[in-house]
Amino acid sequence: MTAQLIDGKACAQTIRSEIAQEIVDIKSKDPSFKPCLAIVQVGTRQDSNTYVRMKRKAAAEADIRAEFIHLEESVTQAELLRTIARLNEDPSIHGLLVQLPLPSHLDEDEITSSVVASKDVDGFGPYNIGELNKKNGNPFFYPCTPIGVIELLKRYNVPIAGTKSLVVGRSDIVGSPVAELLKSLDSTVTITHSKTKDLPSYFEDADIVVVAMGNSEYVKGEWFKNNKRGPVVIDVGTNFVEDSTKKSGYRSVGDVEFKEALKYVRLITPVPGGVGPMTVAMLMRNTLKAAKRERDNDGKLRQFQPLQLDLKKPVPSDFEISRAQQPKEIKDVALEAGILPSELEPYGSTKAKVSLKLLDRLQNRKNGKYVLVTGITPTPLGEGKSTTTVGLAQALGAHLNKTVFANVRQPSMGPTFGIKGGAAGGGYSQVIPMDEFNLHLTGDIHAISMANNLLAAAIDTRAFHEATQKDGPLYRRLVPAKKGVRTFSKTMLKRLEKLGINKTNPDDLTPEEITKFARLDIDLDTITWRRVVDCNDRMLRGITIGEAPTERGFIRHTAFDISVASECMAILALSNSLKDMRERLGRIVVAASKSGEPITCEDIGCAGALTALLKDAIKPNIMQTLEGTPVFVHAGPFANISIGANSVLADKMALKLAGVDPELPQQLQKEKAGYVVTEAGFDFTMGGERFLNIKCRSSGLVPDVVVIVATVRALKVHGGGPEVKAGAPLPAEYLQENVDLLRKGCANLAKHIENAKQYELPVVVAINKMASDTELEHQVIKEESLKAGAFDAIVSNHWEEGGAGAVQLAEGIIRATDEVSNEKFHYLYDTKGSTVQDKIRKIAIDMYGAGDVEFLPEAQKKIELYTKQGFADLPVCIAKTQYSLSHDASLKGVPKGFTFPVRDVKVSVGAGYLYALAAEIQTIPGLPTHCGFMNVEVTEDGEIEGMF
């Protein structure tokens, strides 16, 4: 018998051509598809250089990008592990291998094991080998040489099932994996090795023989002499023996005595030209497989796994539902969301911060769809905006398999322990764990309070020192000598620049310049900056400070605000970067000088320190919903006296994570685009208006659709229904069908739809279902919504059913974003070219329905001052009651023609807006008679009970 040669070289070339063609075919539909193999080589071994060249050449032929990382032989274990960790995380790299052998000072096993399993295209990592050796295992990849052996057998039509296979060699690299693969294909496998007794006898009845000993011509040809089956021989060995006839002085031979074996076998691989080329071809195939998997996962590091809900009726309390659900580890939520481990900073197991580096990594990605959730004018019966936001995200992610993020504010502990409760959603549509969500979270509000109060202390201290010192001592203490050298700090240099003093040596200033620099000359009556506390404390609405004898009669009347009303919180919400936040903090205006010049945080010298206190707070927090979809929780500006929206950075981060590669064809972009569901506080006419005119101006983002949440019961309140009293049973009108009352109340909903349509954005009404609703009542809301110009009005039962109850609403949102463009979006007013009064009138008349605006003397005085100081071009936030379209909480429905009183105007230059205070709006709430904190306890196990 003369054996037929198995041409591994030709077979490998065919496979590489097939891979290249498949990549061409995929790229024709998806130009963003770019498979990449990273090869790490340590040192300059000649054999390693040869193998690396072969792999890079094969990659180029297959249209696979090969990223070659060459490290010096002296590289440390830690440095190499860091390199591998970086490559593990890089989403653009699909396959990663470390060229072996490594220098002796490196732990080869630890290094190869550190390659993440999903990129271990060599297939030698512990996970892939473990899965290979497990019954019904599912490795990401099979080792290249063993699977190359199987591929050769298949391509030469060698039957495997039912055969007897002999594997000579038991190494973890070839022998054992080949045996497992043959067994998985139903061959009866015998493994032998150099210590096997009477080894030649095993060759007599083998159909397939795989030899991987690493010993030149160890298997003799005559061992096949008595085999009548005509065996197939795969020689994996590559050995070098001396040969003076060769230019190199050596030649390569296999583990089988090739010439002698040719006489007795049917098929045999030569060496070279047999298995070797197949190993490289399989490496390319594994890399392609990894790239396809990453594409199918839309770039996610891990496939999303929803949490199952155990729905109960009647629906338990929010706290019971939250406690009953076992959250995923936050690191797993992050991986599913596409956040790299190096971008995640865990705070325990269920919450974490996300590094702003993510935005740099994803800067070229096209944004996902932007969904803004608002509501009708709030009533004591509630509308459920937060619940709808969460339920909609659960529907999109856990039920429609869309990439989705819910973006919400961090709740203040003022309302949490007061009367309103938390803001985690409700029923089966919540952010979990809800106790952590509603309490300290990651400490952002504490950081805001500290930064705010540091500035407050700095203002009063500066005024005190200026009043008690002459220019010379004041300047020397402001710019002290350290080791005989005086220098200006960075913030001082900024003040000098503002004053037009072009000097950097403190000793060079003239007496006039010293006075100009050192004396802010604060007019105490103009100080607007207040201290804050994250608590509802009505007794702090007016206080006196400076009563201690040490303050030398430096007494001043002031007040506290609640922490989430601080301009620092608005700055956190509106900043686009750490640098932007630093500049905004510096621009905060805290008072005026006696000559009327604005005094800033930068003038006080405090902006750098405030930034230091907020450098971690600026990173968005990530949590999850009851169904395991990701939630960004970041910033918490109050909604009736501030902008009432979560942070720009959280929205930008989520939009990039939910986005798509801009190189994708338009149809694929449409199919793969994810959704960011973000919420604006209170109704559209407050939260929505500020979101669009202030937040969108800062971020440059525009929503794709506006969702307005309404309930039958709340609309009946606006229709003139009976007063709702806390603790008293609901009147029958709210529990029984009453179409007339409901239709009257729909005028309030229609006004909000009309207001949203002024911005040229599509509106979808979410009818938040209650048990007492009737189908006819739902139909009435839909009729009135469509009549007012809504794209659709859809009933949603997410409170009772979780995401499943919001699927139709989610599908309506998808239709709206697909069918209606936001390209005609425009702001309500231009910031430049119109006076402060004009902008306030525009909002009050067009949004609220006022007939006119009355500017009280204090407001007129402030407008004149801020106009003089150059702040008239800022947008406007109006602080007013949330319970009416007007300034009067008792006016329900759609009041018209009223006079809107503006009693004061303040400036938030750092945040980037002016804010007008209407009527008697307060900037720190008070506590009710029965407070939420009265129900809160902690068990002996440290579990919190009694919240909501």
Query: Residue 673 forms beta bridges with which residues?
Result: none
Question: Residue 381: which region, alpha, beta or left (left: phi > 0; alpha: psi -120 to 50)?
Answer: alpha
Out of 99, 410, 624, 837, the active site residue is 99
Out of 7, 63, 120, 122, the active site residue is 122
The full 3-state SS of 269-332, as one line of letters, equals CCCCCCHHHHHHHHHHHHHHHHHHHHHHCCCCCCCCCCCCCCCCCCCCCHHHHHHHCCCCCHHH
Q: Measured between alpha carbons, how far is 669 from 665 in angstroms, rounded to an integer?
A: 6
Active site residue 119: no
Q: Measured between alpha carbons, how far is 807 from 392 in angstroms, rounded to an integer?
A: 7
Strand order through the sheet with 852-855: 852-855, 899-908, 913-918, 876-879
For residues 271 and 238, the answer to whether their CB atoms sit within 8 Å is yes
Active site residue 55: yes
Of the candidates 797, 794, 704, 715, the one whose C-alpha atom is nearest the C-alpha of residue 750 is 715
Active site residue 122: yes
Q: Measured between alpha carbons, how far is 768 from 794 in angstroms, rounded to an integer?
A: 9
Query: Residue 853 forms beta bridges with which residues?
Result: 900
Q: Write out the DSSP string of 11-48.
A: HHHHHHHHHHHHHHHHHHH-TT---EEEEEEES--HHH
How does 313-328 read in b/e, with b if 16+ C-beta sit within 10 Å?
A: eebeebbebbbebebb
How is the chain split among helix, strand and coil, in percent rounded to 5?
40, 15, 40
Q: Measured between alpha carbons, how far is 167 from 181 in angstroms, rounded to an integer?
A: 11
Sort 161 into a burial class: Cβ within 10 Å, 0-12 / 13-18 / 19+.
Answer: exposed
Taken in order 575, 577, 581, 583, the sign of the CA dihedral is negative
Q: What is the DSSP letter of 743?
A: H
Angle at 376 between CA 372 and CA 382, to 5 degrees: 105
Taken in order 118, 119, 125, 129, the sign of the CA dihedral is positive
Out of 7, 41, 55, 839, the active site residue is 55
Taken in order 237, 240, 243, 245, the sign of the CA dihedral is positive
Catalytic residue numbers, as ranges: 55, 99, 122
